[in-house]
Amino acid sequence: MLLLLLALIPGATIGFAQEATSGTEVGGVTVLPPDAEVGGASIAEWDARFWQWSLSLPEASNPSFNPDAGMCGYGQFGPVFFLPPSYTPEPVTMECTVPEGTAIFVSVAGSGCTSVEEPPFFGSNEEELLNCAEENFAGFADLQITINGEPVPDLGSYQTSTPLFTLNFGEDNFYGLDPVVAYSVATSQSFIIAPPAPGEYEIVGSGAYPADDVTFTNTVRLVVEAPTVISPEATPQA
């Protein structure tokens, strides 16, 4: 399966633990380095969780297929907010609201292989799945991403492959599969943005998959909001 860019993914959270403190300032945010860990997990491990989140949701409640429905945070929890991906070459613009204090996971593009799909996305063990994911990902070209108009540099350094993980294809999954649990490995270019300050941000990703004659450009408009605290006077008295 191919996950087209900016298939950005968001998730909500309170409490951010970041083991890596350096990063690159891009468009008013800090892009963490490829070796960063957030909440004790590497970017590759967060990528596996990203695929598990995105593919576990039925089509009717999946933000990737309902970009205008305000579903970005559906099913999300924890310290990292996944920006939802796109599975179609059609241009997509999505608006997402993210709580202050949440890191943001951005998948520029990715390819995943499983133990239940037909070739060329099939593998029967971890080695086959890894080779499959890497070979399919190699078909992407001209990947670019900007944050508030500023390009993220050296995207190639963010290419990574996940460890072996499981996918739960539930009822009404958009692959049309019967409910099943599968093995999977994915290869992607993905990065994590340190929790941004409250405000508005625009992330635009683009690229191509020449073998399928596909080009894509997708946009995520983010609003980072501080939590609301009501005044004591507004609290009903018993």
pLDDT value at residue 21? 52
User: Residue 198, preceding bond cis, omega within 30 degrees?
Assistant: no
pLDDT value at residue 86? 83
pLDDT value at residue 9? 27
Q: Kind and range of the H or E element at 203?
A: strand 199-209
pTM (2 d.p.): 0.87
What are the per-10-residue average pLDDT scores of the chain (238 residues)? 46 37 91 97 97 85 74 85 87 92 96 95 98 97 97 97 95 85 97 98 96 93 92 61
Distance of alpha carbon 197 from the chain centroid: 20
- Give the burial string for 179-191 (b: 16+ CB within 10 Å, else e): eeebbbbbbbbbb
pLDDT value at residue 14? 29
Three-state secondary-structure class, residue 171: coil
